Structure 1
Amino acid sequence: MKFDYRDHNAGSNVFETRNPARPAEIVGAYTEMANAAGVDAILNRAANAQAEWAELPPVVRGDRLTAFLDDVIANVERIAEAITLEQGKPLGEARNETLKGCAEGKFMAGEAARQQMQTSAAARPRVRNLILRRPRGTLLAICPWNFPAMTPLRKLCPAIAFGNALVIKPSQFTPAAAFILTEIAARHFPAGLVQVMPCGGAFASELTATGRFDGVSFTGSVAVGRKVAQAAAASLIPAQLELGGKNGVIINDSQDLESCLDQVFGAAFQTGGQRCTSLSRVIVHRDLQESVVQGLAARARALTLGDGLDPATTLGPLCNGAHFDSVKTATTRAVDEGATLVTGGDSATVAGCESGYFYRPTVLDNAGVSRTASQEEIFGPVLSVLPYDDFGEALSLLNETEYGLTSSLFSDSHALIQRFLDESQNGMLHVNNGTVPDVNMPFGGMKHSGLGAYSVGASASAFYTVEQSAYLAW
C-alpha cells in the first residue's frame, strides 16, 4: 500500500483505493468523514485560519500562493505517481495535469491583487464611489476523480488568493493527490486554511444544505451537480458548478487535414476520454467523412494500452469498475441503435494487467442515428462521427444536446468562422485548434454544462469574493 491516510482515532469508517490497471492492488487507505464532530473540528480550524489569512495584503497572499505552487512543482513526480496509481492515466499526462494546475494558479495569484477595488462614477457631488471585494469565508470544493490534482488546484488557488479557507472533498477513487497538496499547503499557509475532508457525496450534499460553508464549488456530472445546487439553494449559499459535456468539433474544410486530425484525436482521447472537455462528436462535411473516419481509426489503433507507469503506455485504463461497465454498456447500446463500429468497441487484455479496466479506443461512424452516441456523455475513449451536407445542419447538430461546454471548428472560411462564433451554444469556442484552454482564460459552460461564475480568469472573483458598494462623502 502506497498511501496510508487513516485516522486511527476516528473509528472504523475506512475505505481503500485500488490501481485501475491492477484492481487487486490496494493503493491507499483513508478514513471517511461521516460525523458532525469531525466536521466541527474542520470548520473551527478553517474559521481561525481564514481570519488570520484575510488580514494579509493581497500581494502578500499572492506571493505566499506562488511559493506554495513552486513547492508543488518541486513535488510534481510524487503527485503524478499518486494520480497514475489511483486514476490510471499515463504518468506524462498526470505530470502535465499538475503543472497546468500550477500555471493556472500562478495567474490567479496575480489576479487577486488586481481585483480588490475599483472606482465608479458618482451621481452626487463630493462623493466617491468604490466597488470593494472581500473574502467569502470558508468554501467547500467537491472534486472529481478524473483530475485529482488540477481540479483541487483550480479551486484552491483562487480561494486562497482572495483570502478564503478551503475544505477539499476529493473523489473516494482518487484522494491521494489532494492529501499531498494539503501537506504542501501546510508549509505555506496558516494551519487549517486548506484541509481535506474525505467523505461520500451524499454526506457532502447534506453538509452543504446546512449552510455551514459560505459557498460550494463542484466539478462533476450534471446529475450530481443538480443535487449540489439544490443543497446550496437550501442554505442560500452560492454554487459554482462545472458539469459535463458532449463536445463537438465541426470539420468543414482544412488545408492540412492531418494536422487537424492530430488535434481532434488528442482532444478526444487524452485521459482516455474521461474529461469534461473531451471532444466526443466529430461533425464532418460529407465530402471529408471517409478520410476523417479512416484517419481517426488509424490513430486509435496506434495507441498502446497499458499501465500508466509504463513509459510505452499512451492510453491507460478507465478509472474504476463501475465506470468501465458504463462505457461498455453505452457503446454496445450505440451500436445496437445503428451506429457503425469502425474500430474498438470492446475491452482489452494487457499482459501483466489482465484484470485491468482497459477499453479499446473506439470510433463510431454515422452516429447520428444513435441517441447514445450523439447525445449522451459516454465519458470514455469513444468518438462519434456525424456527417452533414450544409453548414446550417452542422450547427444544428452541434447545438442539439443539453450540454454547452466547449466546441471547435476547423475551416478557412471567414464567414463560417463568424457564424460559428455567433451561433455555437458553448462556453468555450475554438477555431482551427482542439479544445485545450489557456491558463488565463475563463473556464466554464452554458446550458447544463455549468452554473455560476466561470473558474480561472478574471471572472473567478465573482464566486470567490463578495462584492460591496461603498460611498465616501466629504
Structure 2
Amino acid sequence: MTHAIDTTAPVRLGQFIDGREQAPAAVIEVRNPSRVAHLVGTVAAGTSADVDAAVRAAAAAAPAWAATSAEDRIALFARIADEIDAVADELATLVAQENGSVREIIRREIIGAAGAFRGVGDHLADKLAPVRHDSGPDGASVVVSRRPYGVVACIVPWNAPLILTANKIAPALAAGNTVVLKPSPFAPLGVTLIGRIAASILPAGVVNVVNGEGEVGAALIGHPAVRKISFTGGGQTARHVMRQAADRLTGVHFELGGNDPAIVLDDADLAVTADRIADSAFRRAGQVCFAVKRVYVPRAQLAEFGRLLAERVDRITVGDALDPRATMGPLNNAGQLEKVRGLRERAVAAGRDVRELGTVLDAGAWDEGHFLRPTVVLDAAHDDELVREEQFGPILPVVAYDTEEEAIAMANDTEYGLCSSVWSRSLERAARVADRIESGMTIVNSHLFSPVGTREIPFGGWKQSGIGWEGSPYGIEEYLQFHSVDVQALPQARAQG
C-alpha cells in the first residue's frame, strides 16, 4: 500500500476523518518560501463542524484501540514506518518546498519520523504492564496500572513538521489513545500525508487530520471529548491554549521555544567549537527550538573565536531549498522574515559589529523568496534585544564574559530553559558547569544529540520552554494516566456469614 506523491503539480488534500478523505469546501493555499509565487498545494480549510466530526470519530474508536495488544500496535507501527520510507524521496521534495529547509535536512527528518514509529515499541510492554503489590495472607492486593486518556489533540508547528508529528502521534497511539492531528497552515502538506498514511493503516477513527486556522484550533482545544492537548510552538500561543484548556481542566503537554546558550570555556578548542556552533545555529535557517541562539566567550578569546566563527558561517550557501548546492534555505514565512530582519537592523543601528555572510546562489531570485543571509553579531551585549529574545532565524549574537561565574549567570538569566551547551577540552570541568545551567538538556562539545542522547534523553524544557517531555523511554508517559485497584478482603467472620 504505497501512497504515491506527485510533486510535479500542486498537491491537493482534504480532511481525513474516520478513515475517509473528504473533499474540501474551501482551501488553504501553501506557497513555496523559496519562490512565493509557486503554489505547492492546498489543504482543506476546516471548520468547527469538521473538528467535531473528527473528535467524535476518535472517541468512538478509542475503546477498541485501547484494547489492542502492545504487540498488535507495534506491528502496525512497523507498517506505518515502511510506508513513510516508501515515499521518502517524494515527501522530502514536497516538504522542502512548503517548509523551506534544504531537501537533505528534510530527508534526514523523514528517517527520524519513520524511526519514531519503529522505536516507540521498545519500552511499550514495560510501560503498560500492571504492577501488583500483595499485602500477605489476608488476600488484599493493590494493582497499579496505566491507561490511555482517550482522545488526544496533537497540534504541530511548521519548522520541523514531520519529526514533530511523529514524536507526538507515535507515543500517543502506542499508549492506546486516539488522535486528532492539526498541522500548521504554514507547512500542512507533509504532516497531512503522514497522518493519512497512519490513518489508512490503523482502524478507522484512530487517527484523524483536520487543517485550518484559528477557528479549528479553538474548536479542537475546547472540545469536551478531548482529554489531552499536545502542542509544540510559541509561548504566546501556548498561553492561549492553556487558558482555553482551563475551562475543562484538559491536560496539556507543551514543547515551546528556547533561547539556548552556548558557554565557551577558556580551554575550548575554538576551531571545532566555532564549526559545531555554526552547524547548530544556522540549521534550518536558525528555525529550530533547540539551536544555539547566543554564545558566551571569554573576553580574551573573543576576537579569535569571532574570526573563526565568521569564516565558518561565510561558507554557508543560501538558495532554493531544492538546489543541491544550498546549505541553507529561506525562512518559512513573511512574518518570521520581518521579525529577524528587524532584529538585524536594530543591531546595526545600535552600532554593533554585524556581519552578513555566506554565498547567495541566485541573486536574481533573491526577492522572490523569504531569504536572509546568515549573520553574526560579534560584540553583542547580554542585555541586547537580540540576546534576550528567541530570534528563530539566521542571526547569532556573541557575548564576551570575564569569569566563569558571570557566564553561568548570564546563561541562566532568561525566561527560557530548553537546551544549552558547554564547550571545553576538559570533560570533567564542562560537566561541572553543565550541572549548573537551568535547562532541560545540556550537551558538552556539541549542540546536537549523540545517537545515545537521541534515544535516551527526555526532550523538554524548564521555565517557559515547556510542560512535559517527549521522546526517549519517558515520552510515552505523557500519554498515560494511572489507574489503581485496591482489593481488600472482608473480615473472615463476616465473609462466612
**TM-score, scaled relative to structure 1:** 0.93
Match of 1:266 among 279, 282, 291: 279
User: Which residue does the alignment assign to 1:246?
Assistant: 259
**CA displacement at 1:459 relative to structure 2:** 2.4
Match of 2:328 among 312, 315, 321: 315
Residues 55-94 of structure 1 deviation map (CA, whole Å, 9 limit, x = unaligned): 2111221221122112212221122112101011110000
The answer for unaligned runs of 5 or more in structure 1 is none
Relative to structure 1, is the Cα distance of residues 343 and 274 closer, same or farther in structure 2, using a 3 angstrom cutoff?
A: same
Letter of the 2:81 partner, please give it.
L
Q: Is the 8 A contact 2:317 2:358 kept in 1?
A: no
Residues 367 and 345 from structure 1, CA distance in 2 versus in 1: closer, same or farther, beyond 3 angstroms? farther
Shift of 1:189: 0.4
Helix, strand or coil at the partner of 1:217: strand
- Is the contact made by 1:305 and 1:313 (CA closer than 8 Å) also made in structure 2? yes
Q: Does 1:74 align with 2:96?
A: no
Which of 1 and 2 has greater Rg? 2
Contact 1:334 1:373 in 2 (8 A): yes
Counterparts of 1:425 and 1:202, CA distance in 2? 36
Give the distance between the partners of 1:204 and 1:430, measured in 2 at CA.
35
Which range is displaced more, 295-304 or 436-445? 436-445
CA distance in 2, matches of 1:386, 1:341: 13
Distance across 1 between alignment mates of 2:270 and 2:304: 9
The match for 1:232 is: 245
Shift in alpha-carbon separation, 1:103–1:207, aligned structure 2, 3 A: closer
The answer to whether the aligner puts 1:22 opposite 2:35 as a matched pair is yes
Q: Tell me how far apart the structure 1 counterparts of residues 22 and 273 of structure 2 sit (CA, whole Å).
A: 56
Residue 420 (structure 2) pairs with residue 407 (structure 1) = yes
Q: Is the 8 A contact 1:279 1:435 kept in 2?
A: no
Residue 43 of structure 1 is aligned with which of 55, 65, 70? Answer: 55
Match of 2:454 in 1: 438
Q: Does 1:116 align with 2:128?
A: yes
Determine the C-alpha separation between the residues in 2 that align with 1:245 and 1:235.
28
Alpha-carbon offset, residue 348 of structure 1: 9.2
Give the CA deviation at 1:289: 1.2
User: Which residue of structure 2 aligns with residue 398 of structure 1?
Assistant: 411
Give the conservation status (yes or no) of the 8 Å contact 2:123–2:473: yes
Can you give the 5+ residue segments of structure 2 that lack an aligned partner in the other structure? 1-8, 16-20, 490-497
Moved more, 244-253 or 329-338: 329-338
How far did 1:344 drift?
A: 4.2
Q: Which residue of the other structure, out of 187, 192, 207, is the alignment partner of 2:205?
A: 192
8 Å CA contact 1:348–1:360 kept in 2: the answer is: no
Shift of 1:128: 3.0
- Which stretches of structure 1, 4 residues or longer, exceed 4 Å deviation after superposition? 6-12, 120-125, 344-349
**C-alpha spacing 1:336/1:50, structure 2 compared with 1 (3 Å):** same
1:450 aligned residue: 466
Note if 1:95 corresponds to 2:121. no
Do 1:339 and 1:373's aligned partners in 2 also have CA atoms closer than 8 Å? no
Aligned counterpart, 1:144: 157
Q: Which whole-Å deviations, capped at 9, do the CAs of 1:340-383 have from their partners, x for residues lacking one?
A: 21334999963445411110000002211553111101100111
Residue type of the alignment partner of 2:287? Q
**CA separation in 2, counterparts of 1:178 and 1:293?**
39
CA distance in 1, matches of 2:235, 2:414: 13
Going from structure 1 to structure 2, the CA distance change for 1:307 and 1:14 (only over 3 Å counts) comes to: same
Measured in 2, the distance between the counterparts of 1:348 and 1:370 equals 35
Separation of aligned partners in 1, 2:277 and 2:209: 36
Quote the residue 1:299 is aligned against: 312
- Conserved? CA contact 1:350–1:356, under 8 Å: no
1:85 equivalent to 2:100? Answer no
